[in-house]
Amino acid sequence: MQEITIGKNEAGQRLDKFLAKYMNLAPKSFFYKMMRKKNITLNGKKCEGAEKLNEGDVVKLFLADETIEGFTEKKAPVIQKVKKQKLDVLYEDADILLINKPSGMLSQKAKETDTSLVEYLIDYLLEKGTVTESSLRTFRPSVCNRLDRNTSGIVACSKSLAGSQMLSEVFRDRSIHKYYQCIVFGEMRESKTIDGWLLKDEISNKVQIFPKKVEGSLEIKTKYEPIATNGNYTLLKVTLLTGRSHQIRAHLASIGHPIVGDPKY
């Protein structure tokens, strides 16, 4: 038998969703069967799975430890050991962090062997005692916006479920504004909004920009404003009106103003 006390990061979700994370290999039918037989209870009472969990609720699993372990994925460790990395934390409260990601660091893994900001974030929170190995089983802190490996800038990260939900909402309704700065070749003196169609080649991880729609392409819109220029180079403030892979880099290159130091475009 196992007894689980619902914490801050588990509260607010349905019981069946929580159970699916806790025993992530078990079919949904297993949970409903166990709840009908009262082998899974909520606050000592029979439950159906649709109940919304509150902080302090107690879920009891009247199941053998072997059964619980058998329904829990173990092919990868919960925690990836990483080399210590000092994070440039710009802001932190109980639910979120804002981190200045340096150039050269992945926001999230591209493949299993990668180490990204997410792993450094979890290591940072474990060291502070904000999360534990047990709590990571049902909620993993993560980044809520991504920057390319070679782009530096502010990344918003969630420490809690409430933080994740809040950040997802402000990015979705665009009440938080994002912009980028870059230095491009050539002189640019007018602010413009440019559009086009972007087609990505997954094999080469490179995109092409077309003036008209082609098969498989996605529409893009990019706004730029010159900040300063010396005639040879221009510092731009860029706002993405659509968010596509390599959009800024490829779109600016397509109009004859590639980003200085970008070897791909």
Query: Over its length of 265 residues, how does the chain's per-residue pLDDT go in tens digits?
Result: 899 999 888 888 899 999 998 998 999 999 999 999 999 999 999 999 999 999 999 999 999 999 998 998 754 445 567 778 899 999 999 999 999 999 999 999 888 888 999 999 999 999 999 888 878 878 889 999 999 888 999 999 999 888 998 999 999 888 988 999 999 999 999 999 999 999 999 999 899 999 999 999 999 999 999 999 999 999 999 999 998 989 999 999 999 999 999 999 9
Using CA atoms, how far apart are residues 173 and 118, in angstroms rounded to an integer?
24
CA 94 to mean position of chain CA atoms: 18
196: helix, strand or coil? strand
- pTM for this entry: 0.74
Residue 218: closest CA among 192, 251, 176:
251
Copy the structure tokens of residue 35: 């709840």
Half-sphere exposure of residue 19: CA atoms within 13 angstroms, side-chain side: 30
